[in-house]
Amino acid sequence: MSTFDPINDSDVGFGQLKWEKGLGEWNEIPRKLENEQEVQVAKTTSITDISLPTVLARILPGKVSKRPPNAMLGLCFTLRKDMDIDSVVNGGIFHENHDGLVIVKNIRTSSLCEHHLVPFTGTIHVGYIPNGRLIGISKIARLAEIFARRLQVQERLTNQIAAVIEQVIEPRGVGVIMEASHLCMVMRGVEKTTSTTVSTCMLGCMRSNVQLRDEFLTLLQSKTF
């Protein structure tokens, strides 16, 4: 029976959206669109065979109708050209004997809900137990941003961040917790303005060792650092 690979399964999660030009493999990171033809191809995002720009042109005047597609491109496709896995890591791995928890807290990020095409924003906390190698702390935030800059669901984003850290430095264990507010729940449907969603992914000893997991969760609540 096949299992879901949160990194390599690039076909998961696009739902009813149809992209004329997809994102390709997981490490084929979206780049800055370089010419008008590429921009137009990217703008052909369609929902049930009706293109988003066409719909917007019918209900919004003139140049205004171009702004939402451009904003979506900016959130999901336009990245700094160094935003791929190899460029982000870029030698930022260090051999050390440290064997305690390493935690990077309060990484703020935003992404676009693939179900409703509205943003969700939140905070990511990452902790890992090294296995002879450390990764530069800024690299963790940059890796998270790579996976946030695309159509997403929070649970998959959480899994992908944990999976890429596990792949890059092969720690004994890694844990990722994300808490986010979804505008699709705040502004529509049940309209619960104060609700947040928490998702977790624990791999390796962070999953199997209850004591380590509890230490991680306790330190996240600490105000001492």
Catalytic, 184? Answer yes
The answer to whether residue 40 is catalytic is: no
In terms of domains, do 215 and 104 share one?
A: yes
205 counts as catalytic: no
Instruction: Classify residue 14: in a domain, yes or no.
Output: no
For this structure, is 154 an active site residue? yes
* φ, ψ (nearest 5 deg) of residue 126: -125, 135
Does any domain span residue 210?
Answer: yes
- Give me the domain span that covers residue 49: 32-76
Q: What percent of the chain has pLDDT over 90?
A: 39
Of 76, 125, 152, 154, which is the active-site residue? 154
Catalytic-residue membership of 215: no
Q: Identify the weakest region by mean pLDDT among 38-52, 138-152, 200-214.
A: 38-52
Categorize the per-residue pLDDT at 184 as very low, low, confident or very high, splitting at 50, 70 and 90.
Answer: confident
Does any domain span residue 3?
Answer: no
56 and 105, same domain (yes or no): no
Do 65 and 163 lie in a common domain? no
Do 70 and 106 lie in a common domain? no
- The verdict on whether 179 is a catalytic residue reads no
In total, how many domains does the chain have?
A: 2
State the Cα angle at 80 between 77 and 82, rounded to 5°: 120
* Residues 104, 169 within the same domain: yes
- Return the CATH number at 189: 3.30.1130.10
| Same-domain pairing of 90 and 150 | yes
pLDDT at 11 (0 to 100): 35
What's the pLDDT score for residue 208?
A: 95
Q: Are residues 69 and 154 in the same domain?
A: no
Question: Do 94 and 55 share a structural domain?
Answer: no
Catalytic residue check, 98: no
Query: Given 125, 145, 152, 182, which residue is catalytic?
Result: 182
Point out the catalytic residue in the list 38, 155, 179, 184.
184
SS3 (DSSP) at 139 = helix
Task: Give the residue-averaged pLDDT of 100-124.
Answer: 89
For residues 60 and 101, state if they share a domain: no
Question: Which pLDDT band holds residue 189 (cuts at 50, 70, 90)?
Answer: low
Per the DSSP assignment, residues forming a β-bridge with 104 are 126
Q: Are residues 103 and 63 in the same domain?
A: no
pLDDT of residue 111: 87
Domain final residue, candidates 23, 46, 76: 76
Give the C-alpha separation, 191 to 156, whole Å.
23
Instruction: Tell me the CA distances in angstroms from 103 to 17, 97, 118, 207, one per residue in order.
Output: 36, 16, 30, 16
How is the chain split among helix, strand and coil, in percent rounded to 5?
35, 25, 40
CA 120/CA 109 separation, integer angstroms: 9
Long-range CB pairs of 103-106 (<8 Å, 24+ gap) are: 103/127, 103/216, 103/219, 103/220, 104/137, 104/140, 104/141, 105/220
DSSP code, position 11: T
Nearest alpha-carbon partner for 82 in 124, 157, 33, 30: 30
Decide if pLDDT at 206 tops 50: yes
